[in-house]
Amino acid sequence: MDRAPRSGATQVAEGAPLYPTPAGGSPRVLILFSDTGGGHRAAARALTDALKLLDPTSVVTVADPLIGQGPVIVRRLASLYSPVISRSRAAWGAVYHTSNTQATFAAIRAIFGPAVRRVMTQLLKQHDPDVVLSVHPLLNHVAHQAIRKSGRPRALMTVITDLVDFHRGWTFSQADLVVAPTEEARRVALRRRVPGDRVKLLGLPVDLRFRPPAPGEKQALRRRFGLDEHRFTVLVIGGAAGVGHLAAQVRALALEPHPWQLAVVCGRNEKLRRRIYEMRASTPMLVLGFVDYMPELMRACDLVVTKAGPGAIAEALATGLPLVITGFLPGQETPNVDFVVASRIGAFAPKESDLLDEVRVMAEGGPTWREMSRNAEELAHPYASSDIARECLLLAARYRASAQASR
């Protein structure tokens, strides 16, 4: 059955955009992210796809003013994120909490802001966007400063990609719109004095391919991946970099014979993939490296085992899958564990013995698993990317009209 247009959309002739084309040409959007973790890039990609789907005439540019195009010192500091979280999560927690005070964050902006702002100014001149959409907490303030000096009205839109609590850099009160992923996050934004009419609860943007399986699709996908059609299937993931204690978790779940089967995604960590592939196991498992078909893989499974990354949690929710959380990054991911447990969409199992117990309970397919599956579907925002893109296009039309009127 066809869906009716969401509120704010305009029904137009077939083949035409759902949103008014701004005066003077197609809507232009500049999406700001940084490769400090895969979640920011994934959000930028999901929003780009959603914008082009809603309005194929839109001109969308994605830029990384920190690592990709920033000054050398900024690039070097920002690129330390991945090595630090891989080698010492406690060290990252200390960095995060230290920078998340008003005084320290102001000092960071004062030291590095001017150099990043010069990059931003050049991006605005080059691409002339109607909307600057930020999916990174360190880019909101400098983007606003560059917009003010750019010579014409432009919107600043912030999409928070942390799930519950987050760095103060996200909540810039002068943004035209701040998108919150959860009700808890919306309340945090309000407490940090973002005006209520500038905060919208729309969800965390994920690829629109993440959705619950259609009838019979789960079994068809299992056949495609060479899995048993009727066996309870557990997806074990460690992110794009294959981090965490993935090998130990797989060993706990597969060493002895069990009534489930595993699909293990090791990301780009080829050494880890070979290690797990060669592991002695009595439970069937499919071992994969980096995949670009995670939505289909999730729809083939019944349960996700992962760390408390906001992207992985949002993707599981959009697919209607319960979770077992095995760890978290100190700082922004710490509250995600409480969110998953309190919302009854999953369990926390920091030890391999706990993980085995939780999966054993879930694999029975009893009330616990069914309740968590229902809760996941109710809590999900599977169309968040489209909803956010809609708001962005409406802002683009408004600001392009304002720019035309000011000439």
Q: How confident is the model at residue 1 (pLDDT cuts 50, 70, 90)?
A: very low
Edge-first strand listing for the sheet containing 28-32:
59-63, 28-32, 131-134, 155-159, 177-180, 199-201
Residues whose CB falls within 8 Å of the CB of residue 74, separated by 6 or more in sequence, listed in order: 66, 112, 115, 116
Q: What pLDDT shows up at residue 24?
A: 59
Instruction: Copy the structure tokens of residue 213.
Output: 């399986």
> What integer is the mean pLDDT of 350-372?
91
Query: CATH code for 217-379?
Result: 3.40.50.2000
Q: What pLDDT shows up at residue 165?
A: 82
- Minimum mean pLDDT range among 30-34, 198-202, 312-316, 397-401: 397-401
CA-CA-CA-CA dihedral for 184, 186, 188, 192, to nearest 10: -170
Q: What pLDDT shows up at residue 10?
A: 36
Q: Name the pTM for this structure.
A: 0.84
Q: Which residue has the higher pLDDT, 13 or 92?
A: 92
Q: What pLDDT shows up at residue 338?
A: 93
Can you state the angle between helices 270-277 and 246-254, rounded to 10 degrees? 20
Is the pLDDT reported for residue 390 higher than 60?
yes
Residues whose CB falls within 8 Å of the CB of residue 122, separated by 6 or more in sequence, listed in order: none
Q: What pLDDT shows up at residue 69?
A: 60
> What integer is the mean pLDDT of 22-40?
78
Is the pLDDT reported for residue 110 higher than 70?
no
Q: What pLDDT shows up at residue 115?
A: 80
Query: CATH code for 28-206+383-405?
Result: 3.40.50.2000
Query: pLDDT tens digit string along 194-250?
Result: 999 999 999 999 999 999 999 999 999 999 999 999 999 999 998 655 455 899 999
Topology match between the domains 28-206+383-405 and 217-379: yes
Give the whole-angstrom CA distance, residue 375 versus residue 306. 18
Query: pLDDT tens digit string along 159-177?
Result: 999 898 887 788 888 999 9
Give the whole-angstrom CA distance, residue 7 versus residue 275. 51
Give the domain ranges of the chain: 28-206+383-405, 217-379
Q: What pLDDT shows up at residue 399?
A: 86
